[in-house]
Structure 1
């Protein structure tokens, strides 16, 4: 088994930080779709927001604002913002205030 020769500390520079990967940019669409999903979550519903364009850090800022407005938790997975619970109405008003074209998808 080959060992990876990777320095984590040097006496002349201290701790050596690893290079961070490039920030991923997500392609958006003309219409932002908001959908409630329960599949694969043991019956717990989440509100998924798809179609927002931006980098991971821009989407995380948007996620933080949504979580604060809705008063619940959430996450960012592969460019899709997931907010806990059925918060479609609150998210729709927030995005429409920012001049996004929003469509409620699904049931």
Structure 2
């Protein structure tokens, strides 16, 4: 008898709520036909990755920035309709975006 069965015996009237899977949470973003531009720059000697070209709602792009920063455990910001990520993470970011269904274009380097 596993833990779930024991809990069902103790609380027979409890209805368990299943958490949303990650794919259901991320499908709220608007997918566009034009590619998101992923480019690499150096500012003050430090590498940064810039994402631009999203034509959806600003809130969706901010949520996407938060997801990327959280997944990579890096700092970054959202300014002037661009996501700026500290460090060179182009390959990882492009893989994440293509997994979510976005079309991504690599620019520079």
Q: How many residues align?
A: 78
Measured in 1, the distance between the counterparts of 2:35 and 2:59 equals 21
Could you tell me how far 1:29 is from its partner in structure 2?
6.5
| Partner-residue secondary structure (3-state), 2:46 | coil
Equivalences for 1:50-89 in 2 at 5 Å?
A: 50-89=52-91
* Structure that is richer in strand per residue: 1
Give the match for residue 37 of structure 2. Answer: 33
Q: Report whether the alignment pairs 1:93 with 2:87.
A: no
Structure 1 unaligned regions, length at least 5? 1-27
Give the match for residue 43 of structure 1. Answer: 45
Deviations 1:19-55 (A, max 9, x none): xxxxxxxxx76111110111xx211111001111222
* Structure that is richer in helix per residue: 2
Q: TM-score, normalised by structure 1?
A: 0.67
Output the aligned Cα RMSD: 1.4
Structure 2 unaligned regions, length at least 5? 1-31
Measured in 2, the distance between the counterparts of 1:46 and 1:29 equals 25
